[in-house]
């Protein structure tokens, strides 16, 4: 029996090419995929960068636990399987946003190499892995939300770095040393990187 | 034991209010939720409206089976339960896009009142249900993709209108008679409606 799945590809797609949207926005779309331990500064950096890019006139949006965990991924828990499905859906949504020419800043721990690699394959050239390299000891010492303390005390299951693995990126496009450098410096580094990768190519004069 | 779910609400959210994004775009964000039978003209209308609104300078995006069925919802089939989950995820993604100030045009059959109502609750004031009212007989006669013929022949399971229910909207914000009126007329009606609902309120002079 034929399934409707096979039929879906016949649906009419958007007639607007990414390049038309890029021209409108004045920049390319794509995804800055922030990955790192809890407490490594993902949300802080994401929000700071969003502000900066928006002030520059960019179309930019942060995808984080706050806007997805309660909604799209509200049916998922924190087991490794559910975390993987969480990351898969985040990647799909990030991809959809990037296709509208937006700059997406995703801020998720995304602990597994395989999942980040799937996101890379899905999103293609617009995917940029940014590793927030901060030692567990630093993150745990910061512990801004008291989560490590709770995890160590056994009140939180499957906590990345404590009772659930974090696989460091092997070849990220950018590494920020958020455990050592000041936040302002990291934001400046990330901004300089974003300005480069999302810039439209020069159009040749006639 | 405390779950990370309870913790998620403490995450840092975007610092950019919708109104700042609206001001940038020159229009409000929101969702035009097109609903109707297969063949009622959802994708055609969505793409035509997207072109028109983009030409006017709007930030606009079509969410349809083509950009979600293969990705985000690629794990779902076409059973009624999977269709409901499909609609739930579409609503969540539409909501996320609308929060960036975009005009989202969603083009899904979305056959059940309860699911559309959930989307309405989730998206709030930015949700606009647009019913593409075309009789089954008209849609089946058009049958642009030959799907009704295949469904009648038993080659497609759970086909809306044939072997799966479609519940007509009771109080949609807009009804377009796509079974009778010319497509150009329907696009014009939808465009006029969109221009009204997504317009920024006049700001009072100082």
pLDDT at A57 over 90: yes
A180-205 in b/e form (b: 16+ CB < 10 A) is ebeeeebbebbeebbeebbeeeeeee
- Per the model's pLDDT, the better-predicted residue between A4 and A152 turns out to be A152
**Under the phi-then-psi rule, with left for phi > 0, alpha for psi from -120 to 50, and beta for the rest, what region is A115?**
alpha
**Mean pLDDT split into 10-residue runs, chain B, 206 residues:** 37 68 94 96 94 94 76 80 87 90 94 94 95 96 92 90 94 97 95 95 51
pLDDT at A50 over 70: yes
CA B57 to CA B143: how far, in whole Å? Answer: 34
pLDDT at A42 over 90: yes
Q: How would you class A11 by CB atoms within 10 Å of its CB: exposed for 0-12, middle for 13-18, buried for 19 or more? A: middle
Residues in chain A closer than 8 A to B95 (CB atoms): 71
pLDDT at A4 over 70: no
The CA distance from A132 to the nearest CA of chain B, in Å, is 17
CA A89 to CA B68: how far, in whole Å? Answer: 11
Beta bridge partner(s), residue A64? A107
- Domain B25-197 maps to which CATH number in 3.90.110.10, 2.40.10.120, 3.40.50.300, 3.10.530.10? 3.40.50.300
pLDDT at A9 over 50: no
Which residues fall within 8 angstroms of residue B111, CB to CB, at 6 or more apart? B35, B83, B160, B164, B165, B166, B167
**Is the CB of B122 less than 8 angstroms away from the CB of A50?**
no
Distances (CA, A) of B123 to B10, B23, B67, B127: 22, 20, 20, 6
What the block records as the tokens of A170 is: 């092997």
Instruction: Tally the C-alpha atoms within 13 A of residue A108's C-alpha that lie toward its C-beta.
Output: 29
- Residue A201 has a pLDDT of 76
Segment A84-105 shows an average pLDDT of 90
Class of domain A33-197: alpha beta
**Is the CB of B66 less than 8 angstroms away from the CB of A2?**
no
- Residue B99 has a pLDDT of 87
CA B51 to CA A29: how far, in whole Å? Answer: 19
Residue in the structure block whose two tokens are 């949300």: A43
Picking from A1-10, A28-37, A83-92, which range would have the lowest pLDDT averaged per residue? A1-10
Distances (CA, A) of B196 to A32, A33, A150, B54, B166: 35, 37, 51, 16, 29
Q: In the A/B pair of chains, how many CB contacts fall below 8 A?
A: 154
Segment A187-191 shows an average pLDDT of 97
- Per the model's pLDDT, the better-predicted residue between B52 and A205 turns out to be B52
CA B137 to CA B143: how far, in whole Å? Answer: 10
A106 close contact with B: CB closer than 8 A: no
The dihedral formed by the CA atoms of B149, B46, B129 and A94, expressed in degrees to the nearest 10: 110
- Residue A202 has a pLDDT of 57
A143 close contact with B: CB closer than 8 A: no
Segment A90-110 shows an average pLDDT of 92
Catalytic member of B17, B110, B137, B163: B110
- Residue A5 has a pLDDT of 38
B201 is catalytic: no
- Residue B135 has a pLDDT of 96
DSSP classification of residue B16 = -
Sheet holding B103-107, edge to edge: B60-64, B103-107, B30-35, B127-132, B174-176
pLDDT bracket for residue A18 (50, 70, 90): confident
CB atoms within 10 A of CB B80: 12
Residue percentage of chain A with pLDDT more than 90: 67
- Over residues A105-157, the pLDDT tens digits come to 999 999 999 999 999 999 999 999 999 999 999 999 999 889 999 999 999 88
| Surface of A (25-54) touching B: CB under 8 A | 43-44, 47, 50-51, 54
DSSP E strand boundaries for B138-188? 174-176
**Is the CB of B72 less than 8 angstroms away from the CB of A51?**
no
- Residue B202 has a pLDDT of 57
């Amino acid at each position: 029996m034929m399934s409707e799945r096979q039929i879906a590809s016949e649906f009419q797609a958007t007639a607007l090419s990414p390049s038309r949207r890029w021209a409108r926005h004045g920049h390319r779309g794509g995804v800055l995929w922030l990955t790192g331990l809890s407490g490594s500064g993902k949300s802080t950096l994401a929000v700071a960068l969003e502000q900066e890019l928006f002030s520059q006139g960019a179309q930019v949006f942060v995808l984080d636990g706050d806007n997805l965990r309660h909604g799209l991924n509200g049916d998922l828990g924190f087991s490794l399987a559910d975390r993987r499905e969480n990351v898969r859906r985040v990647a799909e949504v990030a991809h959809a946003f990037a296709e509208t020419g937006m700059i997406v800043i995703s801020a998720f721990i995304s602990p597994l190499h395989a999942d980040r690699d799937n996101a890379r394959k899905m999103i293609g050239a617009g995917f940029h892995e940014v590793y927030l390299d901060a030692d567990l000891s630093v993150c745990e010492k910061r512990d801004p939300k008291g989560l490590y303390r709770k995890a160590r005390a056994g009140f939180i299951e499957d906590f990345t770095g404590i009772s659930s693995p974090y696989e460091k990126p092997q070849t990220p496009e950018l590494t920020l040393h958020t455990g050592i450098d000041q936040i302002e410096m990291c934001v400046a580094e990330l901004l300089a990187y974003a300005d480069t990768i999302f810039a439209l190519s020069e159009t040749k004069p006639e």
